Amino acid sequence: MQLQPTPKSDHMLRVNAKLITSSTILHLTAEELERAIDQERIENPVFEVDEQHVCLFCGARMYVLGRACTTCGRYAQPAQGMSEVFSRTDVPIEAEWSNAEQLYDSDNYGFAEFDRDEEFDPLVSIATGETLAEILLQQLEALVTPGDEPIAEQLVGNLNERGYLEISVSEIGELLQMPIERVDYVLSQLHTLEPLGIGARNLRECLLIQLLALSEQETPHPLAYTLIDRHLHSLGRNLYHEIAGELGVSEQEVRLGSHYIRTMLHPFPAQTYRAEVSYGHADHVAAYMRPDVVIRKGAAGFEVELIEEKRFRFQSNTDVTASLPSAGATYREMQPYLHHYSDRSRFFIGCVQRRWQTLKRVAELVVEYQRDFLEHGVRFLRPLTRSEVATRLHLDEGTVSRATANKYVLLPSGRLMPFSDFFDGSLGVKDILRELISCEEPKRRLSDEELAHLLRARGIPVARRTVTKYREEMRIGSSRER
């Protein structure tokens, strides 16, 4: 990146780094922090990141990229790289996968091939026992007529492990002796389901489906649609200057558009889906619902690790004189700009490090307090509030709330759960309630009033309406539905 006193540089100088506050950084999810780091890396020539290759699910070191983690067995690595994915858009889908099976390396756009045998296949198995195919069919049943259900079954049954459709609309119509228009309609309904992009027939369609859905929630980068629709091949070859010339925009705008696509969209929709079971309920979460905190049990007891702390190494490189043009601005003229970016880099790094420090302190206190829960299970979860944690750590309660909001914890058992579950006093009751329901006689299901009576007999005073609430939160049907 070249530093020159330009109108754009003057504008960037007016950006106050203090707008990026510690509390804002603390509140970000892991994925949002990742995007903030990437954005800072793009905009700030002084800010440097050395990214370590670690599993984003368990934090283990990844020695061979693009393969399942040898520690936890999951495919949980940095966002799938798009460079090779983008490079071909007019090839058969199998060849497109071959190009797409790459792992993004943020430092040098390097890639490593996947080992197909070690991949997690979300269409075959998920943690709850329900396959993605089953969940898609359940959703489609509510969107199509009974007469169209055979079409839905054919569409879902012909999705590959990436989530792409391997059969044409005309083939399904011919197979079922049904109008192509009906097949097109059911396919359009499939395209509205999570994970976004499921059922796409090629990479371009997959990305555009996701972009359209995102545009209903936020304003995407203005170049995103055009880059996907017309310039995937050039984008994959990093021909930013060429694309900029064709579109009549700056190269920086093309880079920012590319960055948006790489971080917000996923080339393989089925791989972004995983079902995780948390205490008291089953949540179907995307792959980006990955742990922020990993709790391990070692010889000395429970230990807390932050995956992002292991993953990122920051520094401010003030020796950027090589970026100065040989003719133009002198070092003296560039000093104000260097000072600005240097201050901004140090402030950003400080905010992230304070995030890590706060999150780790909170997690360590919670782990110490909930040791019995970690050892013996949910029924040993002790009552705990964020206010109590704040008092013990001499922090503001809002700070504790921001530190734990939308964060996930990987337990020693391998279970992924929301950090907020540590503060949910209902989980133990729900676990007992689930046990009572599982042990009831098939011919005589227990009513909510009877369940409440059994809980009260165990010394747990709950009302019938509370039982109803907990049961519905666990997605368990009523006695009549069971």
DSSP codes joined into one string, 121-162:
-TTT--TTS--HHHHHHHHHHTTS-GGGHHHHHHHHHTB-TT
Q: How does residue 14 score in pLDDT terms, banded at 50, 70 and 90?
A: very low
Does residue 170 belong to any structural domain of this protein?
no
User: Cα 60–62–67 angle (5° rounding)?
Assistant: 115
Q: 337: which DSSP letter?
A: H
> Is residue 346 located within the same domain as residue 451?
no
Specify whether 318 is located in the same domain as 351: yes
Alpha helices (H) along 177-296: 180-190, 203-215, 224-230, 232-236, 240-247, 251-264
Average pLDDT on 187-193 reads 94
Identify the pLDDT of residue 223: 94
pLDDT of 434 higher than 80: yes
- pLDDT at position 296, please? 92
Statement to judge: residues 305 and 406 lie in one domain:
yes
Q: In this structure, are 409 and 461 located in the same domain?
A: no
Q: Which domain holds residue 442?
A: 427-473
Predicted pLDDT of residue 448 = 92
Backbone φ, ψ for residue 403 (5° rounding): -65, -30
Give mean pLDDT, residues 158-181.
Answer: 91
Average pLDDT of the chain is: 78
pTM of the model: 0.54
d(CA 108, CA 104): 9
Regarding whether 452 and 355 lie in a shared domain, the answer is no
Residue 193 lies in a domain: no
Taking the C-alpha atoms of residue 402 and residue 358, their distance in angstroms, rounded to an integer, is 10
Last residue of a domain, one of 408, 425, 442: 425
Whether the pLDDT of residue 409 is over 90: the answer is: yes
Given pLDDT bands bounded at 50, 70 and 90, which one contains residue 314?
A: very high
Res 3 pLDDT > 70 = no
Q: Are residues 327 and 348 in the same domain?
A: yes
Evaluate if residue 358 carries a pLDDT over 80: yes
Bridge partners of residue 296, in order along the sequence: 303
Hey, what are 474's tokens? Answer: 């666990």
pLDDT, average across residues 460-472: 89
Are 407 and 418 in contact, with CB atoms under 8 Å apart? yes
Q: How confident is the model at residue 98 (pLDDT cuts 50, 70, 90)?
A: very low
In the predicted structure, residue 185 carries a pLDDT above the cut 60: yes
Distance in angstroms (rounded) separating the CA atoms of residues 304 and 174 = 57
How far apart CA 353 and CA 359 sit, in angstroms, is 10
Distance spanning both ends of the chain, measured CA to CA: 64
Can you tell me the distance from the alpha carbon of 349 to that of 50, in angstroms, rounded to the nearest whole number?
13
Residues 6+ apart with CB under 8 A from 241: 251
| Domain co-membership, 421 together with 433 | no
What is the number of H-type helices and E-type strands within the chain? 22, 8
Number of domains in the chain: 2
Residues 337 and 390 in one domain: yes
Verify that 381 and 335 share a domain, yes or no: yes
**Domain match, 33 and 49 both:** yes
Q: Is residue 482 part of a domain?
A: no
Task: Let me know: does 345 contact 352? Beta carbons within 8 Å.
Answer: no
Tell me: do 399 and 312 sit in the same domain.
yes
In a domain? residue 134: no
> Do 123 and 156 form a contact (C-beta atoms < 8 A)?
no
Distance CA 127, CA 119 (A): 15
